[in-house]
Amino acid sequence: MQKALVICLLAAGATLTSGVAEARVDVGIGIGLPGPAYVVPPPPAYYPPLPVYYEQAPVYVQPPPVVVAPGYYDDWRARAWEQQQWRERRWREHEWRMHHRGGPHWRGDEDD
């Protein structure tokens, strides 16, 4: 009994696998007729209008005329700065002369 069952199973397995291994050519003829179809159109899309940019016209302005009036304009800051520079220059010249003459201020580090 077991032998018969095993043989039936092997036969069934061979039958099922042999259909896969068959090589055949199928020829089919089909006529494609479209069936009734209804396509729902998409809802309308509303977009806001694009912004409009206007470029302003260039503006040309003539500069005012330059007027030079005769006279003396006192600039006390510049004059004070020049005086300070003059004093510093004079002080440096004085110190340089004292140093090169061997004056009392620039004797050196030797103690006599």
Give the chain's count of helices (H) and strands (E): 2, 0
Instruction: Yes or no: say if 22 and 16 are a contact pair by the CB < 8 Å rule.
Output: no
What is the band of 112 on the pLDDT scale with cuts at 50, 70, 90? Answer: very low
Q: Please tell me whether the overall predicted TM-score, pTM, comes out greater than 0.85 for this model.
A: no
Instruction: Yes or no: say if 108 and 100 are a contact pair by the CB < 8 Å rule.
Output: no
Helical H segments across 22-110, by residue range: 76-101
**Tens digits of per-residue pLDDT, 46-98?**
888 888 888 889 899 999 998 887 766 678 888 899 999 999 999 888 877 76
Instruction: Yes or no: say if 99 and 106 are a contact pair by the CB < 8 Å rule.
Output: yes
Q: Which of 64, 84, 88 is nearest to 76 (CA)?
A: 84
